[in-house]
Amino acid sequence: MTRSQDLVWNGIRREKLRLKCGSFYIAKDRASKPQGDDSHFIYGVGGWSKHGVDAGLYAAELINNSLLATLTQPLTQVDPMKVLDEAFSKTKAQGSSTACIITLQEGNMLHAVKVGDSRFMVIRRVEIIYKSPIQLHSFNFPYQLGNSANCAKPRQAQVIKVRVAAGDVIIAGTDGLFDNLFELQILATASKGIEQDLGAEEMVWEMAQLAYQPSRDKAAVTPFMEASKRAGRFRDGGKGDDITVIVSRILGA
What average pLDDT values come out for the chain (253 residues) when binned by 10 residues?
32 68 81 40 52 78 94 89 97 93 92 96 97 95 93 97 96 96 98 95 95 96 96 94 94 85
Whether residue 156 lies inside any domain: the answer is yes
Residue range(s) defining the domain that contains residue 223: 17-36+104-252
Q: What would the DSSP string read from start to end of 19-58? A: EEEEEEEE-SS-B-PPBPP-S---------GGGT--HHHH
- Report the C-alpha dihedral over residues 56, 57, 60, 65, rounded to 10 degrees: -150
Whether residue 171 lies inside any domain: the answer is yes
pTM: 0.86
Q: What pLDDT was estimated at residue 15?
A: 65
Q: What pLDDT was estimated at residue 55?
A: 65
Whether residue 154 lies inside any domain: the answer is yes
Whichever domain contains 172, its CATH number is 3.60.40.10
Number of domains forming the structure of the chain: 1
Whether 107 and 17 have beta carbons less than 8 Å apart is answered as: no
Whether 98 and 85 have beta carbons less than 8 Å apart is answered as: no
Whether residue 91 lies inside any domain: the answer is no
Whether residue 147 lies inside any domain: the answer is yes
Whether residue 66 lies inside any domain: the answer is no
Whether residue 80 lies inside any domain: the answer is no
Residue 137: half-sphere exposure toward Cβ, Cα within 13 Å:
9
Whether residue 73 lies inside any domain: the answer is no
